[in-house]
Amino acid sequence: RSGGGGPSSAARWWRGRELRSVAPPSSPSATLPPQAGGDHTRLNTLTTTPEAWRHVFEVNFFSTIWLAQGLVTELATAHGAIVNVTSIAGSRVHPFAGSAYATSKAALAALTREMAADMGPLGIRVNAIAPGEIDTAILSPGTEKIVESIPMRRLGAPEEVAKAIYYLCTEQSSYVTGAELHINGGQHV
């Protein structure tokens, strides 16, 4: 927790990794940065090691808890917003995302609702976005076959994801909390 107006020690350091991009909130749209997603190697339930499961959950799930705990004072002061990044794989089996990744993202969706309930009384809104197939450098081979089954018949653009995150951080969504916004072109309709 912060005592001198700057970021708390937990906000500056997380398990020995400096969080250079986190600054004290200065406006009501202060946000918690989204979490990274690992290398997306397919990890299944039969052969994945306990160490690999722990690593995926540390990156995709536990880091969110530690960051939120470390920044709660600053977020409450700013009446800020947290936008967690889940995944389309968190709600359905996906051909490229493995078990560890998918279950960590499903857990993050549940955590988003729990955080919304816990932090709402502090004036903090907590939501999530669940991207589907987005045109980035980490697309898996074979994605073009999935695109044929997406109702919008295209990949999403990173800018479309950014606009959704921005919306969830602004006053336009001031009464939205505990929600998971699916950005997938109708892939799961």
Q: Which residues are catalytic?
A: 101
Torsion angle in degrees (nearest 10) through CA of 8, 109, 47, 141: -100
Q: Is 178 left (phi over 0), alpha (psi -120 to 50) or beta?
A: left
The residue among 95, 163, 98, 80 whose CA lies nearest residue 129 is 163
Longest dimension (CA), the chain: 54
Specify the 3-state DSSP secondary structure of 39: coil
- Alpha carbon 163 to chain centroid distance? 14
Specify the 3-state DSSP secondary structure of 182: strand
Do 118 and 67 contact (CB within 8 A), yes or no? Answer: no
